[in-house]
Structure 1
């Protein structure tokens, strides 16, 4: 899939092209990364986070969470292009799943595309995007929590931030970051409350 900074493809169209270009029953994360070219950070975050938005989906979010965290960490470190180590890059994604993901995500992505535009673009570029990288690492880590529904909200937060990075829309970046931080705060509060109740129950 070719790419250029002024190409007419929307983000939803690019996902469809990615699925169409996939050959065989499955592709690796390295292959996906190689197709995304100069917009790789935002698009790769988007591709990895979209499956996490599905409620009560187990297995897939945990598979993509580590690569998601790794790529987010590279944004934090100010790396220009994303890279995955051998084992993470070799992880397989079914071609049918990639096509289905593009189809299911299209109406939602189109809604976001319709309201997004370049604004507060400094938040999408270094050095400010490195602060966003900190939040993305935390959101990605929370996806690993093996509890029902814990992947959905941080997944949506990462998708919104990724769309903001792609569209140079700092407002979307802020919205996604606030959503994710609110979720992390809720998890921490719930965890602290649970620990307190357990301690009271066992008499500590």
Structure 2
């Protein structure tokens, strides 16, 4: 397994996505191949990061990333050992320029944000807590569908998914606690401000 598969750092993940892809267009499948991992944490982080970043503004991207999160988290929930995604999601494409621009824009923030990450409170990321995390990610991803109507509407729930994924990847239970706070805030905001 490559170094990219071992990373739990946001900055290393984006480096892998940019360095291991080429061409004017990049598909979700290309990004998964670039990540080169068969574990759930980094794969759950990928759609969360995409949705929370400027790439998430691509029309239809919130639907794609939300569907990916539901499928990946659902497999965590049922105890599947290796993740699977359908070809239709893997074939969704966007401009590679958006990927490189996002890395350039968010790179310094990512390096700052990942410094405190460490393995702690594993009881909050190991089963059965991992299944609770999966349910929370599914609930958050379901909000992507109505929020897709608004530019960057999925930012808060996508950020919560990122923290859950980082917690699972690095076995940092403190991150999952913070993600739970963001989950509560996301669901409350949707309930309080949804105009319909």
Q: Same fold (TM over 0.5)?
A: yes
Report Cα offsets for 1:126-180 as digits up to 9, x if no partner.
3321110000011111122124553111011112222222221111111112211
Structure-2 separation of matches of 1:8 and 1:43: 8
Q: Which runs of 5+ in 2 are unaligned?
A: none
Q: Name the structure 1 match of 2:49.
A: 50
Offset of residue 53 of structure 1:
2.3
- Output one character per residue of 1:17-68: Cα deviation in whole Å (capped at 9) or x when no partner: 2211102222332232233344642223222122332589362323322222
1:58 to 1:4, Cα distance in 2 relative to 1, 3 A: closer
Whether 1:91 and 2:79 are equivalent positions in the alignment is no
1:88–1:115 distance in 2 versus 1, CA, 3 Å: same
Contact 2:17 2:34 in 1 (8 A): yes
- Higher CA-based Rg: 1
Give 1:75's aligned residue: 76
SS at match of 1:174: helix
2:114 is paired with a residue whose SS is: helix
Residue 202 of structure 1 corresponds to none
Matched, 1:66 2:67: yes
Aligned match of 1:199: none
SS of corresponding position for 1:27 = strand
**Structure 1, unpaired ranges of 5+:** 196-204
Shift of 1:8: 7.7
Aligned to 1:187: 190
